[in-house]
Amino acid sequence: RWALPSGYDSVQWLGLGPHEAYPDRQSSAYLGLFASSVEDLHTPYIFPQECGRRADPRWIVFQNRQLGTNLAVIPTPLTTSTNSSDQWGFSASRYSLEALESTAHDFELCEENDRRVHVHVDSKMMGVGGYDSWSPNVDKDFLIKPGGKGQKQMEVSISLFRYSQ
């Protein structure tokens, strides 16, 4: 989790897309090269929450067109897994986790004055569930239980590169 200066407002990635993709909600996503503004990665759910996750990125590039610079992110697992909840993912938002968690409705969200881009690169993600409208029923295959039986520590590596066009 980190924040980039406001100018890095365009994102490209090679991975699943073009829309949100979570381990139990990604069958309609497909592998491709995608581009978006940071603002368009936000999903305006009624109750603000983490959102906009893109799954299985091979690389991610944040572009600052005003400065002509780019920041490339290359997630590299040091261990392999075939479990779909172990897929890498990323999200980028104008809103910090703290802002999302302290706001009751999407229309109440306010960008920070410096308009930073809050970036999250995750090595594992729990499913979202929601198979019905009254319970948060995440299938057991998509749950993450830290320290649970059979859980292994996952090592990760992220490489960052800044370059000009």
Residue 123 identity = S
Sheet with strand 30-37: strands edge to edge: 30-37, 10-17, 59-64, 69-77, 156-164
Residue 9 identity = D
CB 118 within 8 A of CB 3: yes
- Whether pLDDT at 129 is above 50: yes
DSSP 8-class letter at 25: B
pLDDT tens digit string along 41-55?
A: 988 877 777 778 888
Mean pLDDT, residues 118-131 taken together: 70
CB 9 within 8 A of CB 38: yes
- Taking the CA atoms of residue 84, residue 60, residue 98 and residue 94 in that order, the dihedral angle to the nearest 10 degrees is -130
**Between residues 125 and 41, the one the model is more confident about:** 41
Residue 138 identity = V
pTM of the model: 0.77
**Between residues 31 and 81, the one the model is more confident about:** 31
